[in-house]
Amino acid sequence: MPNQVRKSTPVQLDEMMGITLEDLVQHTISYPFECAQTLMKIGYEPIFPQREKFFGDTCLALPNSFSYVRYMISIDGVQGCYRGFAPTICHHLAATLVANYVNGTYQPKWDSHRPPGKSRVNLLSLRLNCNSKCPPNVLDILMTTGWRMFTVSLGTMVSHPLYVITIRMVAQFVGREGRYTSICSSLKAILNEDGFFGLFKGLVPRLLSENLKIMFPAAVFLAITRVFHNRLLVNSVTGLAKLLTERFAYQLDVVAATMTVQNSSMIIGQAPFLTRKFSGWMDCWEHLCNLNIQNRGRSSFFRYYNGPMTTMNGELRPVTVYLGPYYRLKSPMCSI
């Protein structure tokens, strides 16, 4: 049967891992910036913004990622920039292993009877390989997209506890806690503090984010190939759809990171950083959108505070959002 899921030859371990030594080196070099971005996602801005003029308007400029990493090094040294490095590597490996194993072992065989002229499309990357007057097969795209969503979701769910551990290890930088020191000790601490379901905090927005990155570009690709068959046009529009999806999905990543630290014993999960308790991830998303900080940490270089502000003594001050290092909580500059 062409549309039946059949077991195929087991894939090799190196194929399942989907990660090379070059990827590992690149991830090691860039991890301090990922660590800084994680702190930005959960709402920690240790350096108070500076007033700047932007197209004639006065705004609050936040430090870029390099300044953020430099601040982290000044507090904890270089090793402090690698908090949570081990669980994040394990998290990526686990997600990739599960997705690639299921995809390589149980991939459906729906393409054995594809009509001639309709195989000129790379279904995994959603790119036309050459100009063709025949549009891609709709069933192929739908089945491939659905299968990718299933495998990615499965890998995300299996590896999510490691994601929670990573976020909490990094979040300890704020309050200088030491509960999460290794994967085993972190698992024990989370189970004792939040129970089993604490290992899956923030899972729903992460699943939505990962599936949105697959589903929306595929829908755009399917729609555009119904009208146009030019390779450059189709690939350009699909690439633009991927960029827009990444921008929107980032908000869900911020929500997931925020929900991961909520109600925890860490300082970052309490006031003044979290001014309220969220009933769920949608409540958290709505709150961040109301404050216009749902994209915090997305930019690495030109960062500006876009949340609510007020003027005190002729100076702009943030409202309902805490900015500044925690140990300066009593400082007049950072007490808003």
What pLDDT does 102 receive? Answer: 85
Compute the distance between CA of residue 25 and CA of residue 189 in angstroms, rounded to an integer.
30
User: What is this structure's pTM?
Assistant: 0.83
Q: Over the stretch 280-294, which tens digit does the pLDDT of each residue have? A: 999 999 999 998 889
Answer yes or no: are the C-beta atoms of 199 and 160 closer than 8 Å: yes
| Burial (0-12, 13-18, 19+ Cβ within 10 Å), 53 | exposed
Angle between the N-to-C axes of helices 85-106 and 21-41, in degrees from 0 to 180, rounded to the nearest 10: 120
Domains of the chain plus CATH, in order, are 20-113+138-328 (1.50.40.10)
Structure confidence at residue 90 (pLDDT): 93
Q: Give all strands (DSSP E) within the chain, no chain letters.
A: 50-54, 57-62, 121-122, 127-128, 303-304, 309-312, 315-318
What digits encode the pLDDT tens for the residues 225-277? 877 777 788 888 888 988 999 999 999 999 999 999 988 888 888 877 887 88
Over pLDDT 70: what percentage of the chain? 80
The pLDDT, as a whole number, for residue 118 is: 45
Which pLDDT belongs to residue 74? 92
Given pLDDT bands bounded at 50, 70 and 90, which one contains residue 129? Answer: low
Q: What is the pLDDT of residues 74-84, one digit of tens each?
A: 999 999 899 99
Q: What gap in Å lies between CA 39 and CA 270, rounded to an integer?
A: 15
Which carries the bigger pLDDT value, residue 118 or residue 311? 311
Using pLDDT thresholds of 50, 70 and 90, give the confidence band for residue 8. Answer: very low
Model confidence at 335: pLDDT above 50? no
Task: Write down the pLDDT at residue 261.
Answer: 93
